[in-house]
Amino acid sequence: MNITQEIAKRKTFGIIAHPDAGKTTLTEKMLLFGGAIKTAGAVKSNKIDTATKSDWMEIEKQRGISVATSVMGFEYKGQKINLLDTPGHQDFAEDTYRTLTAVDSVIMVIDCVKGVEIQTEKLMEVCRMRKTPVICFINKLDREGQDPYDLLDEVEQKLNIQVRPLSWPISMGKSFKGVYNLYDRQLNLFTPSQRKVSDDRITIEDLNSGQLDEMIGKNLADQLREDVDLIEGVYPDFDPADYLEGKVAPVFFGSAVNNFGVKEMLDTFIQIAPGPKSRLTEEREVKPEEDKFSGFIFKIHANMDPKHRNRIAFLRICSGRFERNKPYNHVKGPKALRFSNVTSFMAQDKEIIEEAFPGDIVGLYDTGNLKIGDSITDGEDLQFKGIPSFSPEIFREVVNKDAMKTKQLEKGLQQLMEEGVAQLFTFEIGSRKVVGTVGQLQFEVIQFRLKNEYNATADFVPMNLFKACWIKSRDKKKLDEFVRSKQRHIARDKDGKLVFMAESKAWLQMVQENFPDIEFHYTSEL
């Protein structure tokens, strides 16, 4: 097969949801359809269970699970689909943001009882920023949820995107009868079953025929006719181009645990979802069908075994054919790299592969050479864009508790930061080190891992900081002047970029007013 054919076969998407909406369940059903797994229960949730959050063994176990389940490949109707799971827990939001840089589209799961939840809103913001096409799956229709019209309004308002229902539920909860597919005018009647692998659909040529009344009863049949009329009247015809531009999100209703409505969504997904897209680098746009290989690292995971400091780096292939054992340019790195241990993630099995294509995600065994955001190419110096750091929410100063283990602490901190567990800022004055995270949980993970893997002990002393702002200015002199006058508040991030550490919102505003030539950004990609 040539490279264009390989590209045409691939679809790479992320699955996002507020915890408990049914992401793991939906993932599992999709893998069942793809034949990638045989039994229900094979996919493990990557959830960090808040009830066990102080149980270290549990966190370690879950870290293991999240590696195993974070990328899953499967084949469906001749297409190769790569599914990227994202942690729903808000403390790991940054990990999710970075994962979203490696996908071409997104499936979003919403619980019909709870509606749009806070984490979903944040994730959608990231999708909107990147104009990522989104399909919505409204889940748990076997429960008494909110009215479907209200749910659609809520999605439009809270997620700030137009919706277009492509299926419509017939009642819900105890009286849930099924969904009507507005796209191909088929009716799918609900039979609760966790084992079902196919939906039995009935084609309805004419919604006004008596056949419908016989199947779901006159009342529900009338209601469905009314709903379909209303929807066709209110919503313009679905145009896949609007979806591809991230303007309209098609919506499906179903029940993941009963494997209901999933196949409909998957069938539409493979028809309309985008294949591997072109990507921007600092230098130029890179097209997938280019001859030469290029890709970037968006996630790094440490091995569980503290004695071997091996890591798995997740590489998204953006162009060309990636080959095992071929020397590649590690852009900005000190030397060329050659990867002999390259794994694919086909559902449960990890296997060594010889080659991979645009859209694919491969795991590279790494002994400490790679960082998140690194680009790897077949020669050219390209730096992929769009893998920014966001300002953390919580800041703590690192205090070494064991002077004999300073080196270990530094090494441990550096490696954990390269994995993207948290961000490190070093103040220009006095070299004080500050770790910033989105959630409390990371500090516990860091402290535990420093001790466990590096034998270093550190305290994390709370600091009163509001945000880390990456700064720049057109006028180099003005920037130098600013840095000099605010020296006590200037730090460098892991890449040596200048950061202004703002103590409060009000103070930041004042500083911004006083220094109009300086730009302040909450993300590292300016």
Q: Is 457 annotated as a binding residue?
A: no
Rounded to a whole number of angstroms, the minimum distance from the CB of residue 25 to ligand GDP is: 3
Within a 10 A sphere around the Cβ of 39, how many other Cβ atoms?
8
Query: What does the DSSP 8-state code read for residue 456?
Result: -
Segment near ligand GDP (CB under 6 A); pick from 137-145, 278-286, 319-327, 414-422: 137-145
Q: Residue 25's closest CA among 125, 121, 126, 111?
A: 111
Query: Mind giving me the DSSP string for 409-450?
Result: HHHHHHHHHHTTSSEEEEETTTT-EEEEESSHHHHHHHHHHH
How many residues bind ligand GDP (CB under 6 A)? The answer is 19
Shortest Cβ 264–ligand GDP spacing (Å):
14
Alpha-carbon span 164 to 162, nearest angstrom: 7
Q: Which is nearer to ligand GDP, 24 or 408 (CB)?
A: 24
Tabulate helix, strand, coil % of the chain (nearest 5).
30, 30, 40
Q: Where are the beta strands (DSSP E) in 320-393?
A: 322-323, 327-330, 337-338, 342-346, 349-352, 355-356, 361-366, 375-377
259 near ligand GDP, rule: CB under 6 A: no
22/133 with CB nearer ligand GDP = 22
* Least distance (Å) between residue 74 CB and ligand GDP: 17
Q: Which is nearer to ligand GDP, 257 or 346 (CB)?
A: 257
**Taking CB under 6 A as the rule, does residue 117 contact ligand GDP?**
no
Among the listed residues 127, 155, 257, 518, the single contact to ligand GDP using CB under 6 A: 257
For residue 476, give every residue at least 6 positions away whose Cβ sits within 8 Å of its Cβ, in sequence order, or none: none
Spell out, one character per residue from 1 to 20, where the chain touches ligand GDP: x when CB under 6 A holds, - when not. ----------------x-xx
Where does this chain touch ligand GDP (CB under 6 A) — which range of 256-264, 289-297, 374-382, 451-459? 256-264
- For ligand GDP, what does the binding mask look like between residues 72 and 91, x meaning CB under 6 A? ----------------x---
The number of residues in the chain equals: 526
Q: Which CB atom, from 258 or from 415, has the smaller least distance to ligand GDP? A: 258
* 66 or 389: CB nearest ligand GDP: 66
Annotated ligand binding at 329? The verdict is no
The strand order across the sheet containing 375-377 reads 337-338, 327-330, 375-377, 294-302, 311-319, 361-366, 342-346, 349-352
- Residues 224 and 207: beta-carbon distance below 8 Å: yes
- Contact between 112 and ligand GDP by CB under 6 A: the answer reads no
Tell the smallest beta-carbon distance from residue 225 to ligand GDP (Å): 26
360 binds ligand GDP (CB under 6 A): no
Which residues make up each annotated binding site for GTP?
85-89, 139-142
